[in-house]
Structure 1
Amino acid sequence: MELRTLVNVMLGSLQPMLIVWGPSQTTLYNDGYAEMCGKRHPAAFGKPFGELWHDIWDQVEPIISAAYAGQGTSMDDIEFVMHRNGVPEETHFAFSYTPVRDPWGTVLGMFCACTEQTSTVAARNAERTLRERFEQVFELSPGGIAMLTGPNHVFEYANEVYYSMIGSGRDIIGKTVAEAVSEVVRQGYIDILDRVYQTGEPFVAKNLRIELNRGTAGEKQDRVIDLAYQPMVEDDGKVIGILVQAIDVTELRAEEEKQAQLSHELGHRLKNQLAMVQAIASQTLRNSTDLASARVRLSDRIAVLSAAHDTILLGGMGASTVTQLVDKMTSLHDDPANPRITVTGTNIKVGSRPSLSLSLILHELATNAVKYGALSLPDGRVNIQWKIAGPKSDRFELIWTETGGPPVQQPEGPGSGLRLINAGLNGTADSTVAFTFQPSGLTFRIDADLQGFQQEH
């Protein structure tokens, strides 16, 4: 009687159902359960339950034994690795094993209603795996990423870079942006989020200035960020949240500005260099008697210009010192074993343009001293002195004195070297040069405003 009733119920149900009956645990099932048996149907019908599920019997036997002992079992999700189609496959089921008794309470068998959830669990696992992969991608992203949900913009997720940007000590998950990063409210960022959420239109901007309370003490820091707010939209077009992408470009923009300044400075200096080369070439060629001598003098002067430029670079920040320029000249025109040039002066900084002019002037004076002046005779000497002068200590002064050379006579007319020297110090607002031609030796004096002498151009 009991079996007939259960069979009628089982056959009339669309849900997979199973009856295990009698001491031999004979298996009866409907069409829904037959699909779950795979290739073991129809051979399994009417056979012992242990033969149907022999490959998972170690998991099933305790449950069926409990049912025959009068104890029901219900599970929402149990995992088996079955071979029902000849190959191992992971399967998932929800079921209940209910003991079936006769009127006197004796267990006659077991009735089971079940549902296979393999595809549902697989889809859920795939979704979880995909989410984990997305989170891994987000964590590996060089920029900060956060997910906000709802109209109040509640933090659902944030990667480590985002935490680092806003201050790693903050607790933001489950809080609104206004609560977790309150300083952005007065800066208008909540208004931007509201517009994105309401309109579904993304917001993308570069080089945004933002003030953040960062660090353990929450100190205020001004940062520069590239920012994108992308609406997250459901299939029906409804916005459910916002994906935040942010990159802190503070150091990058500062470096770009520095490079732009350096490029501008380089271009400016190159123009100055070319102008000086042009002036030197024009003056040398105009006052030379023949091409061979012009070539030699032009080559020498450009070499001095190059050496002076190297000195400027070694000085750093486009500047050098008078000591460096004088030492460069003496290394070319004096003998360390028998020095005949003495120098006295303080370590005064020189701007780039005056540096080049002073190097050329010193070279011209030394060249003339070797050819015609004090250094042309064994006992000749040159003394160079420089200092900061003037009542207000706002002038640069250098004096070149020659002694022990041949008698000096004032030249009949200025050659190219004297013209170059008389041009003074390029880049200064007020500079004068003066020659004194005495029989005992030449004296040269140069005087310039200290501010122009040291200023970068």
Structure 2
Amino acid sequence: MTKIRGAISWPLASVLAIGIGGAAAAEAENCVMGPGAAAIALAGMIFVLLFTLYRLTAYRRRMLYAHSRLAVLTQDLKAGEITNWVETGIADVDAIAATLQDFDRRLREKRSKLARLNEELIKREPIAGSTGFNNELRAIINAMPVGVLIAEAPSGRILEGNRAIESILRHPVIYSDNADAYSQWIAAHENGAPVQPSEFPLARALAGEEHPTLECRYRRGDGNWGWIDIVGAPIRSDRNEIIGAIAAITDIDGIKAAEERGRMMIMELHHRVNNALAMIQGIANITSRSATNLDCFRSNFSNRIHCLSRISTLLVSKSWTCTPVRELVATVFACESADYGDRISFSGEDVELRSEVALALGMALHELLSNAVRYGALSTDKGKVTVDWRVVDGEKRHLALTWTESGGPSVEAPDRVGVGQILMKNILARQFGGDVEIHFDTEGVRADITAEI
């Protein structure tokens, strides 16, 4: 996940660097645009936004390219070609490719062992008419790390199986009398269709197919279904007549699970990138409404993007699953460079939020923090901010969070609704599935926030 984090944070950090490089300390509400500067301000805003969109779009293209490379690799492996994967820089895709190549390597080793065992069978004892296997040959197949089945030709009667196959399939070897009786081994294709007796590699090898393979889901002895890989090979006499067949079985449940996780991670990453893009677009639109010159836009936009980047890094560290509210609040306060010590406090129950809820709530808290630093309790030396939250059980279980400022300048309700309020109430509140109520008490701003859990 480290490379994913870097790829997401880099474009955000780039935008932040552009913003900070030319930012002025002026506040959005106090900045005045001089005559003739409107065109420059508009051009600057468009440049910053387009650069951000360009970086996110470029990363998405890298993801799509890596995914297409992975699809090509999969097709090459199915065709039996030797592949040489070159890392794409997308950590999860590279990890899946490494897993597939390792599986291909083990499959080739398994085929080699089958060939050697085939030679041993021919040298040791003819299968046709055999009443059993000698101890030396049984020791060989029992030592093999894959499941092994051996059948005679032409009937297909299974003569021998080893300990590994019983461990993989979780039931004793079924000594089927003939190839038609392979229906006793219950398996299904990926689409759910039952594997017919003639489709098993053991039956196909008896029919003369040199290296039949099959990936299928098998109903194990405990009733659970698991993925297995089967490779077969015919056993030939010195006169090149088929006298039997052998099949090797490998448990590939872990590999299939890794493939599915990789597929889901790629889909989730696309979803996250699109969400981040939409969030940046919303921030840019809202910020541009109050910015009266380019420096004002840069300062406010950069601060919001910086906070978005910090929160995204936290969510990545939690694998975009659930984020503790305590860590989220601490991350938001850390976005402010000044050290306020014990003037900031927070407390509440141990509760976690879904990633999309945590992201929106974190941005709402950032707006309250920015207002407190500029005009509220943290604009003076003695002001304090406290954040408390609790879980409320009602029709739906939800988080109730209260932001309280005290000890700062006397507060009066503003004449107009600020951009921060618009962002919190009109955009962010919908995303965290709750509401934001802001109270301009004389002793300090108080905000009551509800959010989904």
Q: TM-score range by the shorter chain?
A: 0.5 to 0.7
Measure, in 2, the Cα distance between the counterparts of 1:300 and 1:429. Answer: 21
- TM-superposition CA deviations, 1:85-125 (whole Å, max 9, x none): xxxxxxxxxxxxxxxxxxxxxxxxxxxxxxxxxxxxxxxxx
How far is the alpha carbon of 1:151 from its aligned partner? Answer: 2.9
Q: Does 1:247 align with 2:250?
A: yes
2:326 to 323, 327, 331: 323
Structure 1 gap ranges (5+): 1-126, 214-218
Q: Does 1:361 align with 2:369?
A: no
How far is the alpha carbon of 1:355 from its aligned partner? Answer: 1.2
SS of structure 2 residue aligned to 1:385 = strand
Structure 2 gap ranges (5+): 1-118, 125-136, 188-193
Q: 1:440 to 1:334 in 2, by over 3 A?
A: farther
Larger Rg computed on CA atoms: 1
How far is the alpha carbon of 1:314 from its aligned partner? Answer: 3.0
- TM-superposition CA deviations, 1:419-455 (whole Å, max 9, x none): 212235466574221222233221212223xxxx23x
Aligned residue runs from structure 1 range 363-378, under 5 A: 363-378=366-381
Tell me which protein shows more strand as a share of its residues. Answer: 1
| Greater RCO (CA < 8 Å, at least 6 residues apart) | 2
Measure, in 1, the Cα distance between the counterparts of 2:283 and 2:380. Answer: 29
Letter in 2 for 1:184: W
Letter in 1 for 2:267: H
- TM-superposition CA deviations, 1:285-318 (whole Å, max 9, x none): 2321111121121111111111111222333452
Measure, in 2, the Cα distance between the counterparts of 1:260 and 1:210. Answer: 22
Measure, in 2, the Cα distance between the counterparts of 1:260 and 1:338. Answer: 45
2:290 to 275, 280, 287: 287
Query: RMSD between aligned alpha carbons?
Result: 4.0
Cα pair 2:122 2:237 within 8 Å, conserved:
no
How far is the alpha carbon of 1:414 from its aligned partner? Answer: 2.7
Q: 1:167 to 1:389 in 2, by over 3 A?
A: closer
Q: Which residue of 2 aligns with 1:207?
A: 215
- TM-superposition CA deviations, 1:299-344 (whole Å, max 9, x none): 1111111111122233345221221121223344497674212323
Letter in 2 for 1:208: C
Q: Which residue of 1 aligns with 2:312?
A: 309
Q: 1:150 to 1:428 in 2, by over 3 A?
A: same
Measure, in 1, the Cα distance between the counterparts of 2:319 and 2:153. Answer: 56
Aligned residue runs from structure 1 range 338-417, under 5 A: 338-389=341-392, 391-392=394-395, 394-417=397-420
| Range 306-315 or range 296-305, more displaced | 306-315
How far is the alpha carbon of 1:169 from its aligned partner? Answer: 7.5
Measure, in 2, the Cα distance between the counterparts of 1:145 and 1:432. Answer: 63
Measure, in 2, the Cα distance between the counterparts of 1:268 and 1:144. Answer: 41
SS of structure 2 residue aligned to 1:328 = helix
Tell me which protein shows more helix as a share of its residues. Answer: 2
Q: 1:140 to 1:256 in 2, by over 3 A?
A: farther
Q: 1:242 to 1:296 in 2, by over 3 A?
A: same
Measure, in 2, the Cα distance between the counterparts of 1:360 and 1:222. Answer: 45
Letter in 2 for 1:388: V
How far is the alpha carbon of 1:372 from its aligned partner? Answer: 0.7
Measure, in 1, the Cα distance between the counterparts of 2:224 and 2:178. Answer: 18
Measure, in 1, the Cα distance between the counterparts of 2:422 and 2:286. Answer: 8
Q: Which residue of 1 aligns with 2:185?
A: 184
What TM-score do you get using the length of structure 1 for normalisation? 0.57
Measure, in 2, the Cα distance between the counterparts of 1:185 and 1:409. Answer: 75
Q: Does 1:224 align with 2:224?
A: no
SS of structure 1 residue aligned to 2:292 = coil
Measure, in 2, the Cα distance between the counterparts of 1:253 and 1:185. Answer: 19
Q: Does 1:434 align with 2:437?
A: yes
Q: Does 1:267 align with 2:270?
A: yes
How far is the alpha carbon of 1:185 from its aligned partner? Answer: 7.1
Letter in 2 for 1:352: S
Cα pair 1:424 1:432 within 8 Å, conserved:
no
What TM-score do you get using the length of structure 2 for normalisation? 0.58
Q: 1:222 to 1:177 in 2, by over 3 A?
A: farther
How far is the alpha carbon of 1:167 from its aligned partner? Answer: 6.2
Q: 1:427 to 1:160 in 2, by over 3 A?
A: farther
Matched positions, count: 315
How far is the alpha carbon of 1:262 from its aligned partner? Answer: 1.8
Sequence identity percentage:
27
